[in-house]
Structure 1
């Protein structure tokens, strides 16, 4: 038989086709492929594997042919099973365990989970939060990122800890280990692996990996306690499931002998287009824990959300606890920016407390499957309650809405349980009445006139009205401190009056020469607003945090000279006002929106840097214009 003569192109095609068919036959003879239906996969257990993933979850809208006779029917896709004695860590799925002294428990975050589906974020907050420290600085990154690797986080929170026989001792911490080698699949005390710092009931591992990660939790081998630990562990390929930050991000505003008011820093700015979204959040996004510093049971879990949840004695706006103190949104303070405030009650007099800013989950979602669903905790701030009962904490007034501090009070007339609204009404209505008299005078000033006819090119009547209200509320509603507080910037007031329980002060019965000076001085023998405070409220002796002198300066600069405002000088100024010291963290004078440590730390540095850059820009602009 004579074959047809092929052209050069046809010859090349025939050779290529033949080679392709030969390679296909070789592949089929070696691989012996099988087929499986998504609906007919069975659970198969064999060495190194546990359970299948349904193909419906991986491929959709695909058709598969029936398997041929002799094809294997049980072939599927499996997730690697953890070694015996090692528990699996699914992605963003917290696991809770008890552990006894001297015991090590092991976990594995498998490659299939590491490369698996991600968690959900939830709705989120109205804008990127300016509160700092959303990530812990304690993560351990031991490997350089490779192109095929994935970022993972494994976090642990101690929820409960043993009771120590010595109540003054601090419970020992759990120990956290990890390994990326299958040769060390049970890391822990005495078995190898890399140990990670575990402090305050919190530990975090942060890695770039492309294979299984093995984790060990070891409990200290000691007999100095009774009971066991309980912890929560979670792994994630999105972000830490549990968070701790070394920033405080909580400011102490003021307190009395049974309550305290604290606020977050600004969460956005007043001109933001989502300002109303922030202000309408209900419930507010953050929570707070508080605890008496004398009670050491909190020491071992101070960085753990679930640890604080189970051990902190006081809370505010924590959704997992039904009977909470209050946490609400406010724009009070410098700049009028949105922030959250916490009113913590049921405190003990003359006591020091820790306070933690916290968040359940990631603000809008929490629990299994949620990115960051295990809660967030910031480093603690400290605050102290007053000793006397004649200073009462007030905030959210109607007219003097920026007032938020303790004011002179009388618990016999205005009970801390239900009388504070009446006390607030006395102060607020008096200030409102005084402002109305000022407003009548301001109406005589030609405010709505041409720029050349106004009293100032830099200020107008709106500036004057605002400055007067700030000054008026600060001086008619004085900030109250304990009589026994001996700070040199405090002004004694009402020293000749009896205490609120009717007791006559010792310095009145047997005055020394120093006492006699106070008794004969108008500034110390009466209140700044004697008509209301000394005659109506009758708080007895107390000390005042004097208003800041710059409030008076701003009033004089903002209002027309025709109104006759002026600031005292010399000793009269020292008896009526104080000067701010923004870098010390000490509140030496009172101004609306004040909070302890408001200008301390990184915020002060950022503010100063901003001012320096602003002045530098102005100087450069002037030089350019001149030269």
Structure 2
């Protein structure tokens, strides 16, 4: 007769100690006032991930989180020897998680979190709080603007042409249908050295809570929508105004409010930098950088409809003629390679034609800058926290006469500018993907390639040697830009 009464007392004690019920697959935010605080875990037939994120913290205290899925009603440090008590350890982002089986009852206990706020998520589909492997993509910046992309999240689903109806995309191509349920992404940007940012947890709830009341924070008020930049897949695109010239910035993207991607670092250019950012061009989807194209409203950048008609018509005509010549072979039936197709050739040629047709503006490093403070007025700036290579390479820059543009179909720019040359690998990609009869060839590294391309950054620069270049990529997540071409994400 004593057993039922004992069980009833244990159940009542559990309800008193853990009077807040956590909801499965939902984020919940709490502010601690006492220690410990306890929360009931929802029961599930599948293992559940209990994750936490600090939304604020005090330097003087270190919060600790313990989970029990057994008989321990208030798990704590003294219970870690028990088989059903686990501690959630926070990482450098102030995120942590543990996966347990909660068949009937479980509890989360929080210690040393007075005057702090934190977010809890319990999910049967993996941790709601985590650091993503991929980072946002820094595209380019001006003195007070930046163009950025989220990590890719959905394949393009662009159907490949097949014989006998082997139809390649039109020169002025259209995108396939957008994904119907894209994940929610938010972009958060802060001045890297701002004291408010340096003392903030790197979590979604911390970013959301600080963006509106910390002066050094900026968030894009709206996304520019979905964009299919390359074969990696769909991304969210942001064009952000209001940055300060010659300033280091750190950016994070937060997926579904709690999954953190980043950081990436970049620096804005000097106030004298005049080139606007060109982006949102369907026939050149990879273009997203500052270029010598005049526009009436510097705050909006330059989109496809604002490009000079002579430039657009010349590029589309060239791509159409190339496609016509390419399809003189029986694409899809007469294979010229076991690895690539006519569609691969056209895509590589499109990318090459767009990059060489539209120069990318840059700046030479300021004489007073240093590799540790991030030369803000250069396209090769090292953001704070950058992994500086043993030898900092000199980027492929060339001074350009505004009255004599590299592309004659572009009108003269308002002033002379500096261009960062295309990576030689952009040319090599088209050469490798296209059939030999087209006669597409790239200049040789040991002869004239350096006059028009950045050589030795991605590949070694030696004939026939692929890989092993000085930087391994044209750009990286630390804001370095050595040549205009393939980047690391």
Query: What's the TM-score once normalised by structure 2's chain length?
Result: 0.67
Partner residue of 2:43 out of 102, 107, 114 = 114
User: Structure 1, residues 56-95: CA drift from partner, whole Å, max 9, x if none?
Assistant: xxxxxxxxxxxxxxxxxxxxxxx75635454332442655
Largest Rg, 1 or 2: 1
Aligned to 1:177: 66
The separation in 2 between residues aligned to 1:94 and 1:549, in whole angstroms, is 45
Match of 2:261 in 1: 378
Query: What SS does the corresponding residue of 1:252 show, helix, strand or coil?
Result: strand
Which of 573, 589, 594 lines up with 2:483 in the alignment?
589
| Equivalent residue for 1:314, pick from 193, 201, 218 | 218
CA RMSD in angstroms, aligned pairs only? 4.4
Q: Aligned match of 1:405 in 289, 292, 305?
A: 289
Counterpart CA distance in 2 for 1:564 and 1:181 is 72
Distance 1:114 1:314 in 2: 40
Q: CA deviation at 1:488?
A: 2.2
Distance in 1 between residues matched to 2:68 and 2:330, nearest whole Å: 77
Instruction: Give the Cα separation in 2 of the matches to 1:152 and 1:85.
Output: 21
Contact 1:394 1:405 in 2 (8 A): yes
Counterparts of 1:553-592 in structure 2, within 5 Å, are 554=430, 558=434, 567-569=442-444, 570-579=446-455, 581=458, 584-587=472-475, 588-591=482-485
Mapped to 2, the partners of 1:215 and 1:575 lie a distance apart of 64
1:198 aligns with 2:90: yes
Aligned residues: 410
Q: Quote the residue 1:304 is aligned against.
A: 203
Deviations 1:264-322 (CA, angstroms, capped at 9, x unpaired): 2362254479x988615477643333322122434565443222211243335xxxxxx
Deviations 1:131-176 (A, max 9, x none): xxxxxxxxxxxxxxxxxxx6233222223445xxxxxxx6854222
Aligned 1:111-510 pairs, distance under 5 A: 113-115=42-44, 151-161=47-57, 173-179=62-68, 182=71, 185-188=73-76, 195-199=87-91, 200-209=93-102, 212-219=105-112, 228-236=115-123, 238-239=124-125, 242-257=128-143, 258-265=145-152, 267-271=154-158, 279-281=178-180, 285-299=184-198, 302-312=201-211, 313-316=217-220, 324-333=221-230, 335=231, 337-360=233-256, 375-387=258-270, 388-409=272-293, 414-418=296-300, 420-421=302-303, 424-426=306-308, 429-433=310-314, 435-436=316-317, 448=328, 469-484=350-365, 485=378, 488-494=394-400
Q: Tell me, what secondary structure is at the counterpart of 2:74?
A: coil
Residue 98 of structure 1 corresponds to which residue in structure 2?
A: 31
Would the aligned equivalents of 2:130 and 2:260 in 1 still touch at CA under 8 Å? yes
Q: Which consecutive unaligned segments of at least 5 residues does structure 2 have?
A: 2-6, 161-173, 212-216, 366-377, 381-392, 459-466, 476-481
Structure with higher RCO (Cα < 8 A, 6+ apart): 2
SS of 1:551's equivalent in the other structure is helix
Provide the secondary structure at the position in 2 that maps to 1:114: coil
Counterparts in 2 of 1:47 and 1:330: CA distance versus 1, 3 Å: same
Q: Do residues 538 (structure 1) and 414 (structure 2) align?
A: yes
CA distance in 1, matches of 2:350, 2:176: 28
How far the C-alpha of 1:550 sits from its partner, in A, is 4.8
User: Which has a greater percent of helix?
Assistant: 1
Residue in 1 that maps onto 2:389: none
Relative to structure 1, is the Cα distance of residues 353 and 450 closer, same or farther in structure 2, using a 3 angstrom cutoff? Answer: closer
Given the superposition, is the C-alpha separation of residues 470 and 441 from structure 1 closer, same or farther in structure 2, using an over 3 Å criterion? Answer: closer
> Is the 8 Å Cα contact of residues 360 and 484 (structure 2) preserved in structure 1?
yes
> CA contact under 8 A between 2:292 and 2:361: conserved in structure 1?
yes
